Structure 1
């Protein structure tokens, strides 16, 4: 290891005794670079990619909370790194130098005056036999023309951009509620497009719409769109309706406890932390699933409260603003999700507000502000 040992390069402001992830430290040189992740409890790691194929390391630490995430510039063989949340696991991603890979990794318990756990990852150059295997397994490159050198698409650089999936409720043959001026589905789509524009202007997010035209998308498919996108947040936009035209105001829903077990139908085959029982013990699987969903529900509730605090100055709210329900679009067990009822199309004032582009944009700006606030400073650059 290089003189000076490991250097702490980042620490989340949200780290607490229950946060799991405390800080990340790097040290070493071009012969070996060591990454140490300080944790407040034991964990098991799953190495998804060792970096030998494309220079990207992906490691999952089960039952670890990453808070708002951390990232930093690298050292020696590590170019850059970030840690974010992936379901019930903390996900470490690293870009490493060519012809290197993760050589070893292990967990150290508290010892010798150190009162916390440390997950250690060593990155080192490939051995000669590894280089031969890597070249043999490498995909063929494609020559654009005979006069050009062969090229292949490089792995994209790591990014802390959050993926936001916006769901415009209803659509196609499912029009939703009817107001005096038209159907709910059109209001929902217009609001989704306004929110997408607001988020993309910041440059901080990758935004996915479940629909961008007047088409019908099955509820289960909306959930799977969020899962396939690796969504960090799912927000479903709706417009309420009721028999009393005097009732108006927005409300926010998160998943109810009674509906929680219905979410098992959306467990992905790749969710190793939910299907990690080597013994086939159903009780173990149920515990792993519960841990995942409990963390997701907590994050959903946290975002719901942040959302309410931002929109309350832009629109009226129902007296009991934060509610729970078993809506199918909230069922993804690893994706924080809320359903926002933006107002009542059965109320003339709410419908006028939702159909006015300027007022609708102001409300979606408030929703965008709540998303900014929820994720906080997602890019936590290294500080020594």
Structure 2
């Protein structure tokens, strides 16, 4: 049921609900936040963001996974969820003068099996923003200045994909299968990234198990990943062929990305204007931006690997690998070397050399996100 703008939404829950996911869509004029819930829940708007650019919503009795947070979009610069005594609390920092315009709860419908609590944030007119700030500055309110407020956590989410696994062993070397090398490297990279506490690291697999290619992409999308890196070991017809290479998505494969756009994701964005054509435009723009970011990271990665491990002569390549298809997640596939080459295989099997290799990959990820932060200022 839709509620009037600013009205409280109360929907009694028969049992405790779980917060499944937080999704954002829209632009710098209006941004929509969708909170996916497995059951209905009562929701309280604590702060609408108009006075101090922070929106706070408490979902009564709702349980959220720990360390749930993500990057912003449109009017939202960052968001984070924590657990309080009353339930799950969602806080969002706004990138401009704006406030909550409307809120409503959507029950399961049209093929969507879960509840969705929707919050629309709209930019304030300059005169309205000045009036609200003047009122907020009054001593009686004693609001904490924005500059003095602690920023929301903004750890980058990196998904590491160990290629193959289970009944899909990948290529075979003299000493074993590719799937085992990929998993060992993924674990080493995870350890490297988690040392500094800057990243939330998610593995598509952490055991010798088969995971479908589409499921690997969905894992990155559900996590709101800032970067996806798939680790593999190459194989060639000539034993002397060796060296690492990096793949990004080819132009010809972009049309296949549509399979990773769910109906509900693009309904969320397009419904703001009532124009279904908007979804196609947003998809195209998103794909272009994602491919540019992927290519940028690939170059950064190769610059870090150069001199530390052999590289193929044409080390940056493009292909239509399924794991690269997510239109909203920058992604690369790293061929760490040739398992069919005895020198490359030995390098990848040696724990010390493998750790050095993954340190270089970790350094490239640090470089990439450092450049991203500087470019966004």
TM-score for both structures, normalised by structure 2 = 0.65
Q: Supply the distance in 2 between the matched residues of 1:58 and 1:263 (Cα, whole angstroms).
A: 35
Does the CA-based 8 Å contact 1:47-1:58 persist in structure 2? no
Q: Supply the distance in 1 between the matched residues of 2:280 and 2:49 (Cα, whole angstroms).
A: 26
- What's the CA shift for 1:93? 3.4
Matched, 1:220 2:202: no
Q: Supply the distance in 1 between the matched residues of 2:130 and 2:189 (Cα, whole angstroms).
A: 41
2:265 is matched with which residue: 245, 270, 273?
A: 270
- The structure where helix makes up a greater share of residues is 2
Q: Give the direction of change, closer, same or farther, for the CA distance of 1:102–1:168 in structure 2 (3 Å limit).
A: same
Output aligned runs, 1:291-370, within 5 Å: 291-370=285-364
Q: Supply the distance in 1 between the matched residues of 2:198 and 2:361 (Cα, whole angstroms).
A: 15
Q: Counterpart in 1 of 2:123?
A: 106
**How many residues in Structure 1 have an aligned counterpart in Structure 2?**
279
Q: Supply the distance in 2 between the matched residues of 1:218 and 1:121 (Cα, whole angstroms).
A: 54
Matched, 1:233 2:227: yes
Q: Counterpart in 1 of 2:283?
A: 289
Q: Counterpart in 2 of 1:144?
A: none
- What's the CA shift for 1:266? 0.5
Q: Give the direction of change, closer, same or farther, for the CA distance of 1:369–1:271 in structure 2 (3 Å limit).
A: farther
Q: Give the direction of change, closer, same or farther, for the CA distance of 1:259–1:102 in structure 2 (3 Å limit).
A: same
- What's the CA shift for 1:313? 2.1
Q: Counterpart in 1 of 2:240?
A: 246
TM-score for both structures, normalised by structure 1 = 0.64
- What's the CA shift for 1:205? 0.4
**Residues 9-35 of structure 1 deviation map (CA, whole Å, 9 limit, x = unaligned):** xxxxxxxxxxxxxxxxxxxxxxxxxxx
**Residues 182-207 of structure 1 deviation map (CA, whole Å, 9 limit, x = unaligned):** 00000000000000000000100000
**Residues 26-79 of structure 1 deviation map (CA, whole Å, 9 limit, x = unaligned):** xxxxxxxxxxxxxxxx943124279x83758799xxxxxxxxxxxxxxx96859
Output aligned runs, 1:1-384, within 5 Å: 43-48=28-33, 53=44, 78=54, 84=71, 86=73, 89=74, 91-93=76-78, 95=91, 102=99, 105-106=122-123, 158-268=152-262, 269-271=264-266, 275-276=270-271, 278=273, 280-282=275-277, 284-376=278-370
Structure 1 residue runs without a partner (length 5+): 1-41, 60-74, 110-118, 126-155
Query: Which SS does the other structure have where 1:159 is aligned?
Result: coil
- Higher RCO (Cα < 8 Å, 6 or more apart): 1
**Residues 284-315 of structure 1 deviation map (CA, whole Å, 9 limit, x = unaligned):** 43222100110000110100000000011211
Q: Give the direction of change, closer, same or farther, for the CA distance of 1:55–1:261 in structure 2 (3 Å limit).
A: farther
Q: Give the direction of change, closer, same or farther, for the CA distance of 1:316–1:362 in structure 2 (3 Å limit).
A: same
Q: Give the direction of change, closer, same or farther, for the CA distance of 1:264–1:78 in structure 2 (3 Å limit).
A: closer
Structure 2 residue runs without a partner (length 5+): 1-26, 36-42, 57-68, 80-90, 102-121, 137-149
The Cα RMSD (Å) is 3.7
Q: Supply the distance in 2 between the matched residues of 1:121 and 1:176 (Cα, whole angstroms).
A: 63
